[in-house]
């Protein structure tokens, strides 16, 4: 019975590892951390403070071609005109305490595609 329980736990860990896409995650820069969502958004946050102890992270995927849906993407703070778009998106969301932490981008044949947005809210 104990052996069956151990096999079940190991099986679940392996299943979860592959479901999260950790087997295909690229090498991460120093200080970066990764998040993987059931929606398919797989994010590596670079130059973004890791506040998982005090804030909850949510990923909002963008509509992208099917061949990009499960690709790992590098995410960083909004830049240039993305700041105004992020502020507008937050105003529409109207969620107290929510803030945009990162915009996820992926390069496809020298073209940058927005893969999604990472937001946080306070842990209560």
Per-residue model confidence as pLDDT tens digits over 80-97: 888 888 888 888 888 888
Please give the pLDDT value at position 21.
63
CA distances from 27 to 33, 89, 104, 105, 114 (A): 11, 31, 17, 16, 21
Whole-angstrom distance, CA of residue 83 vs CA of residue 94: 17
Q: How confident is the model over 38-53, as a mean pLDDT?
A: 93
- Alpha helix stretches (DSSP H) within 47-100: 81-93
Whole-angstrom distance, CA of residue 30 vs CA of residue 52: 17
Q: How sure is the predictor about 12, in pLDDT bands with cuts at 50, 70 and 90?
A: confident
**What mean pLDDT, rounded, does the chain reach?**
88
Q: How confident is the model over 10-26, as a mean pLDDT?
A: 72
- Is it the case that residue 24 has pLDDT exceeding 80? no
Q: How sure is the predictor about 25, in pLDDT bands with cuts at 50, 70 and 90?
A: confident
């Amino acid at each position: 019975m104990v052996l069956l329980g151990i096999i079940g736990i190991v099986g679940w860990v392996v299943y979860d590892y592959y479901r999260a896409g950790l087997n295909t995650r690229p090498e991460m820069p120093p200080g970066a951390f990764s998040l993987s969502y059931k929606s398919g958004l797989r994010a590596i946050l670079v130059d973004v403070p890791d506040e998982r102890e005090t804030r909850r992270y949510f990923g909002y995927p963008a509509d992208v071609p099917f061949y990009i849906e499960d690709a790992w993407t590098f995410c960083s703070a909004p830049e240039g005109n993305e700041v105004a778009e992020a502020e507008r998106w937050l105003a529409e969301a109207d969620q107290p305490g929510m803030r945009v932490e990162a915009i996820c981008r992926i390069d496809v044949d020298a073209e940058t595609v927005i893969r999604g947005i990472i937001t946080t809210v306070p842990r209560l």
